[in-house]
Chains A and B, each alone.
Chain A
């Protein structure tokens, strides 16, 4: 009987590891690459971070595998964006049976709703109201550095709660990261201020840059809505073409996660060229131009400025 109970106890401790008083390393699973990068920045060598949706991948269309559930089950902390970005996540977390705490990085930001759009899109959505829910959160909040600061602070708070002995470590790294983000924010504003207001119009594949546009005063137009799953109508495309012609928009970009064929169609029709690849919903691979959140912002802003100024 005794060995049996011992064996049970061992199995129990393997299945349900109790919160050890001191964690060797905090095991974090982030839902997508941008959150993973932020967590790495704040955690440093105290955390080991993996990302469910990899670099250059589309979280809107992600399909979890059993391995993803396994990683969540073994995690101490799961960091998600929220705002409906990871529609598949709740089921995955429940299925994994994990005891990790799940934190939503976007908690506390000012959420943009889908209905706050430019006029033609709003009018068109009115017509579609029967099919589409009137209010949908726009999840792409990380595209504003002010929100990025909130994300970072939330992640740091969760890490401190989980690993209190190293609170100072996290606080120091958070402060350093926040001041980096502040400096970056100033740089972004300085760069964009070189563009006259009437030229600040940019075309991308899907509506991923509304927070960016709101924060830095740039109008982003896109044939696809907030999710990459939607199919554009010919009327939408025609509207965009007219806007490109009327406003003489030269800054047209593809995104690293999107199908580029519709954008190619727009450039053919208007005699413009694609200005390059913006990183919207995922970072690039480690050797790419947007391997971190900060690098992504630098890359995107530099690309937008040069595309508009070239003309």
Chain B
């Protein structure tokens, strides 16, 4: 039994690399997801992941299948979309989500165009999006570097992010709000670029949102929600890889579904605001004669 839990990782280096990559990603992606949710930007990750495509495709056209060329291209494209749509929303009369949708659609179409025209060879979509089983030493270093940068960046931005999440008008008055917002979006793009090139798009976004959403049902303070999100993400990485190993399932979806199961469980049984806790409180109040 214990063997089943450890041997896959002790015997195969690719399993260890996949696990380390996922856990490293969890460190940054967990808290970033928490703030995405707090700022009502949960779907932004999805949009940004597609916005990255043209940059990565241009990077591929110039530098071939190199993590650096595609990463830098993707980073530039993602940041451009994030900053442009933020800028448009702040200066013109368009809401940020609508602005985001417009810029990401333009970017996505551009990406598909470049991929198709440049295409010819191997299916570029496969090339642009990674697989957790193909993580090599270079990819691992990239993920580790980005995880470190994310943790550092979050530490610096922490006070501002928390303050703005609680009361958006607070920092807008002070004028630092825009700077914090931009820096935060840069962190999101950075994590997405690292994540989807090495682990796959689905996995990269899921590692941000699902653990964070699940964690919200177990804690109140933002720091503890972040800690639980990291924990859930790491656990999902381990559980998903193990599931993929023993049940012969594709690894990326297995990890995401593991996190999804934890989310569903939290949604129903969590301590704060879950289905069960609300029901329980409702009954409790009725019994004591204090309907809410």
Interface residues of A (CB under 8 A from B): 54, 56-58, 60-61, 63, 65, 124, 127-128, 228, 230-238, 241, 257-259, 261-262, 264-265, 268-269
Contacts and interface: CB of A to CB of B under 8 A. Distances in A.
A241 B131 contact: no
Contact of B121 (A57, A60, A124, A230): A57
Contacts of B120: 54, 56-57
A230 B130 CA distance: 13
Given A128-B248, A234-B244, A268 B136 contact: yes
26 contacts: A56-B122, A65-B116, A124-B248, A127-B248, A128-B248, A228-B123, A230-B250, A231-B250, A231-B252, A233-B250, A233-B254, A234-B14, A234-B18, A234-B251, A235-B244, A236-B248, A238-B11, A238-B15, A241-B12, A257-B122, A258-B122, A259-B122, A261-B130, A261-B134, A264-B134, A265-B133
B136 A228 contact: no
Interface of B: 8, 11-15, 18, 116, 119-123, 125-127, 130-131, 133-136, 241, 244-254
Contacts of A233: 244-245, 247-251, 254
A129 B11 CA distance: 28
Most buried by B among A228, A238, A269: A238
A264 B123 CA distance: 18
Across the A-B interface, the 10 shortest Cβ-Cβ residue pairs: A261-B134, A61-B123, A231-B250, A235-B248, A124-B248, A234-B244, A234-B245, A233-B248, A235-B245, A259-B126
A63 B253 CA distance: 25
A61 B251 contact: no
Q: Which of B15, B134, B245, B252 has the most CB of A within 10 A?
A: B134
Given A63-B116, A262-B133, A265-B134, A238 B122 contact: no
A268 B13 contact: yes
Nearest to B198: A261
Contact of A61 (B125, B250, B254): B125
Given A61-B126, A257-B122, A264-B136, A238 B250 contact: no
Given A233-B251, A235-B249, A261-B134, 7 more contacts: A54-B120, A58-B122, A61-B126, A234-B251, A238-B12, A261-B136, A262-B131
A228 B126 contact: yes
B219 to A, nearest CB: 31
A234 B241 contact: yes
Nearest to A60: B123
A32 to B, nearest CB: 13
Nearest to A232: B133
A213 to B, nearest CB: 22
Contact of B14 (A58, A228, A259, A265): A265
A177 to B, nearest CB: 28
B243 to A, nearest CB: 9
A265 B136 contact: yes
A231 B12 contact: no
A235 B178 CA distance: 47
A243 to B, nearest CB: 13
A56 B121 contact: yes
Nearest to B125: A61
Nearest to A128: B248
A306 B170 CA distance: 71
Contacts of B18: 234
Contact of A237 (B14, B121, B246, B247): B14
Nearest to A61: B123
B80 to A, nearest CB: 26
Contacts of B123: 58, 60-61, 228, 257, 259
Most buried by B among A127, A232, A257: A232
A238 B12 CA distance: 7
A156 B133 CA distance: 45
Contact of B246 (A54, A58, A235): A235
Instruction: Tell me which of B121, B125, B252, B254 has the highest count of chain A C-beta atoms within 10 A of its own C-beta.
Output: B121
Nearest to B200: A231
Contacts of B135: 265
B15 to A, nearest CB: 6
Nearest to A53: B120
A290 to B, nearest CB: 15
A63 B117 CA distance: 11
Contacts of B126: 61, 228, 259
B14 A231 contact: no
Contacts of B15: 234, 238
A233 B251 CA distance: 5
Contacts of A261: 130-131, 134, 136
Contacts of A60: 123
B12 A269 contact: yes
A232 B250 contact: yes
Contacts of A262: 131, 133-134
A227 B11 CA distance: 29
A234 B13 contact: no
Contacts of B122: 56-58, 257-259
Contacts of B119: 57, 63
Nearest to B139: A261
Nearest to A65: B116
Contacts of A54: 120
